[in-house]
Amino acid sequence: MLKHLLEKREKLVVGLMSGTSLDGIDAAIVRIVGTGRDSRAELVSFTSLPFDDALRERLKLVCSEDRSGTPDVCGMNFYLGSRFADAVREAVAAAGLEISDIDLIASHGQTVWHIPEASANDPYLVRSTLQIGDISVIAKETGIVTVGDFRTADMAVGGQGAPLVPYADFLLLRDETRGRIAQNVGGIGNCTAIPAGGQAEQVIAFDTGPGNMIIDQAVYELSGGARTYDAEGAWAAEGTVREEALEELLRHPYFRMPPVKTTGREMFGKPYASAWISSMRESGASAADIVATATAFTAHSIARGYRDFVFPHMTVHDVIVSGGGARNRTLLQMLAELLPEQRVVTSDEFGLNADAKEAIAFALLGSHFLHGEPNNIPSATGASRPTVMGKLALP
């Protein structure tokens, strides 16, 4: 089975992504030709399967420090494995393909906790990360070889296990004459800065901070659960940014930390967002002002990260936005105003579906794992060396 896969120059790979926004599963069917840094990826089909409100809220509890228990994580690990398998079957059917046409599945899984730095107070809380959505369940239910659990290998060689998408960003977006930043805005924002004509070792990458996470929580709470995100940034566009509140948000110590750095729900999740939303309500801010300020927080934290940690080291011509935030017009307008010397565009302009880009990235990572190709970028994660990330499950 594996020998046959390794001999194929062209493969159909399903990349699966469920991010920190907890909005659903992205499934990208990707045609990958070749191996290593010369490989090429073409999106064949893309499907997104949203989580219902009950599952989304349950996942928020599983990702919570004080409300999650071992049985919750154990059960959700297998439950999500089945949901990922469902996503594969639905994506294949939507593309008009047969399950037997698929060569490989590559699943990011669902991050429930991430500890990039060891605890100073608890010797058992070492550097670690946990993604659930068991790959054996996916492989057995679909009958397809499955690769997943990528982050742990990078952490085992001294990295932070994130961000991992920079490897694919470098393969897909590097340019000989233009410096570029690939900015994903999912639940958390992460950037990949690629100098013109640069090598992978020159890439600067880090999590910029909250992406849609606080915006989505604000919309959900302020709408009484009727809405889960700010479609096209329309609600934010109706409000006024509360400048004092914005400056207070930007004082968070995370933004002063130099790369390598990563973050997630353990820092900016529901408890953090809900406490801030409550304080804004108490101050008399309107719902629109709260959403506008949360959106400005994302835009300013991204731009500040560039000014502090990227622009001193390279000239950047293009900022290429992907993820759900690429559909938020108000956020893109704010970014463009904060970055007047750069061209702010979505990855769609480069032939990369902005909604599918991270799922495409994990399809590439999975293919590289299969061929024993290192698929991390140490300058992005802080790893001591390039390494092959991933684990294998056979059907």
For tokens 């979505």, what's the residue?
346
Residue 323 counted as an annotated binding residue: no
Q: Which of 78, 74, 73, 70 is nearest to 59 (CA)?
A: 73
For tokens 């999912």, what's the residue?
186
Q: Which of 98, 204, 182, 88 is nearest to 142 (CA)?
A: 88
Residue 82 — φ and ψ, nearest 5°?
Answer: -65, -40
Residue 149 — φ and ψ, nearest 5°?
Answer: 55, 55
Residue type, position 313, single letter: H
Residue 208 counted as an annotated binding residue: no
Residue 177 counted as an annotated binding residue: no
Residue 207 counted as an annotated binding residue: no
251: Cβ–Cβ under 8 A, 6 or more apart, which residues?
Answer: none
Residue 105 — φ and ψ, nearest 5°?
Answer: -115, 135
DSSP string, 41-61: EEEEEEEEEEPPHHHHHHHHH
311: Cβ–Cβ under 8 A, 6 or more apart, which residues?
Answer: none
Residue 284 counted as an annotated binding residue: no
Residue 39 counted as an annotated binding residue: no
Q: Return the exposure string of 111-144: e unless at least 16 CB atoms fall within 10 Å of the residue's CB, then b.
A: bbbbbbeeeeeeeeeebbbbbbbbbbbbbbbbeb
Q: What residues form the annotated binding site?
A: 19-26
Q: What residues form the annotated binding site for ATP?
A: 19-26
